[in-house]
Amino acid sequence: MPAPLMATMSSPELPREADVVVIGGGIVGTCAAYFLARRGMSVALVEKGRIGAEQSSRNWGWCRQQNRDGRELPMATRSLALWEDISADIGEDLGFRRCGLLYLSDDEAEIDGWRRWRDFAATQGVTTHMLSAAEAAERGAATAKPWKGGVFSPTDGIADPSRAAPLIALGVRKHGGSVHQFCAARGIGLQAGAVASVVTERGTIHTKQVVMAGGAWASTFCRQLGISFPQSAVRSSILSLMPGANELPPALHTAGISVTLRGDGGHTLAVSGMANVDPTPQTFRYAADFLPMFARRWRILSPGDLQGWLAGHESRRKWALDRPTPMERTRILDPRPSARIVDLTLARARRLLPALSTLPVQATWAGYIDSTPDGIPVIDPSAGPRGFLLAAGFSGHGFGIGPGAGELVADLVTGKEPSVEYKQYALSRLRRGAWGKVSDF
């Protein structure tokens, strides 16, 4: 069974023109479309499959500042406030709550790292509490083992990946925007070097402004416009258990296993960072760009298989706009999970948390996590032709910071002074090389 996902309605007709066309109905695209529509722009959101069906429904749901890279922390903080703001505005429960995130460890070096981050975060106005062994034992009582220490970030939280993007798409419509599922954008029409239209499989929308929020497909799409965007995806395999364990911390991270309460009362289980690298033409194209990240993370990566190559999201092919593209062939990237990782994850979770030992598996799935070479997204209005804004490469952090990213996109499109610094998200930084600047998780 794939990751659970709520259905949302499409608008009846594709508009002939719009102030902005947003390509990609993940959390980033839906939030961008939502804030643009809320500001009175006419917005069309086009999604080749279903809203939220790729990464944005397959993640753990963590919305965190804890351990964030300094380049992303202000957006993470802003996003937490926006999760609350969007829920209130659209009157829907996105499953967001500031339940706090609990990290437990037996590794002094890891605990020291958290302490250093705590000191840095304090300079940014973010509070996080180091836990002594006694405090870790108390907060981690469900694990039935002692810990050397931990950290608790009280203002962080979780939202529900199975509902968030579909409900925010409802918010787009509420503010007058339109939402089009099973509607792949095949390419961009240019006039005098500027965006003039978006060609979709259902017809052309005339517009001067496009937001490309295509997640793992973004680099391939950019290549059609002659834009080089170093991007690569790894396959992460996870599972959920049926409801029944009521005494666990809502969001718990340990080196061996992470456990998150789901909106339906079940739990998502995952091993942080562990993933498969499925080789694709794009993997080879950008191999040199990703060497610093690989050098840092190779221990948790395993070779994968050819399913990524076959899916076509990292193809190097150019396609024509008047016939079906790889995006229509692979409506939803739904890779097979690694049975080895799923079994290992389940065994570790049941060993650590006795409350989970008898609960049946609800679903197993995998998702391609798209990343940039330095682990920081690209949000750039100058990445391509005039009127083309790229917002992708969220590197495993995009769900939590989706609202902040969407607001920033709306600021950049409408010319409003952004509430967060954004120069660090420019595509050009990756052209210069990002050696030595790979983010932590």
Ligand X SMILES: Cc1cc2nc3c(=O)[nH]c(=O)nc-3n(C[C@H](O)[C@H](O)[C@H](O)COP(=O)(O)OP(=O)(O)OC[C@H]3O[C@@H](n4cnc5c(N)ncnc54)[C@H](O)[C@@H]3O)c2cc1C
Structural tokens at position 331: 């409506």
With respect to ligand X, which residue has the nearer C-beta, 53 or 410?
53
With respect to ligand X, which residue has the nearer C-beta, 62 or 147?
62
Q: Are strands 251-253 and 101-105 parallel, antiparallel or unpaired?
A: parallel
| Residue given tokens 């395993």 in the structure block | 302
With respect to ligand X, which residue has the nearer C-beta, 119 or 374?
374
With respect to ligand X, which residue has the nearer C-beta, 58 or 163?
58
With respect to ligand X, which residue has the nearer C-beta, 48 or 139?
48
Query: CB of 435: closest distance to ligand X in angstroms?
Result: 23
With respect to ligand X, which residue has the nearer C-beta, 148 or 302?
302
Q: Cα separation of 423 and 41, whole Å?
A: 25
- Residues with Cβ within 8 Å of 181's Cβ and at least 6 positions away in sequence, in order, are 8, 10, 25, 47, 49, 50, 51
Asked if 366 and 238 touch (Cβ cutoff 8 Å), the reply is yes
Query: CB of 146: closest distance to ligand X in angstroms?
Result: 27
List % helix, strand, coil for the chain (3-state, nearest 5). Answer: 35, 20, 45
Query: CB of 133: closest distance to ligand X in angstroms?
Result: 27
Query: CB of 268: closest distance to ligand X in angstroms?
Result: 8
Query: CB of 62: closest distance to ligand X in angstroms?
Result: 3
Query: CB of 72: closest distance to ligand X in angstroms?
Result: 10
Query: CB of 295: closest distance to ligand X in angstroms?
Result: 22
DSSP 149: E
Q: Which amino acid is at 11?
A: S
Asked if 250 and 139 touch (Cβ cutoff 8 Å), the reply is no
How far, CA to CA in Å, does 157 sit from each of 160, 251, 288? 10, 8, 36
The CA-based dihedral angle spanning residues 320, 322, 326, 332, taken in that order and rounded to the nearest 10 degrees? 150
Residue nearest to ligand X (CB): 26
Phi-psi region of 415 (alpha: psi -120 to 50; beta: other; left: phi over 0): left
Q: To which H or E segment does residue 326 belong? A: helix 326-329
With respect to ligand X, which residue has the nearer C-beta, 95 or 396?
396
Q: Cα separation of 296 and 277, whole Å?
A: 15
- Residues with Cβ within 8 Å of 375's Cβ and at least 6 positions away in sequence, in order, are 69, 293, 395, 396, 438, 439, 440
Query: CB of 214: closest distance to ligand X in angstroms?
Result: 3
Residues forming the site for ligand X (CB under 6 A) = 23-29, 46-49, 53-56, 58-62, 184-185, 213-217, 221, 236, 238, 327, 367, 369, 392, 394, 396-400
With respect to ligand X, which residue has the nearer C-beta, 367 or 385?
367
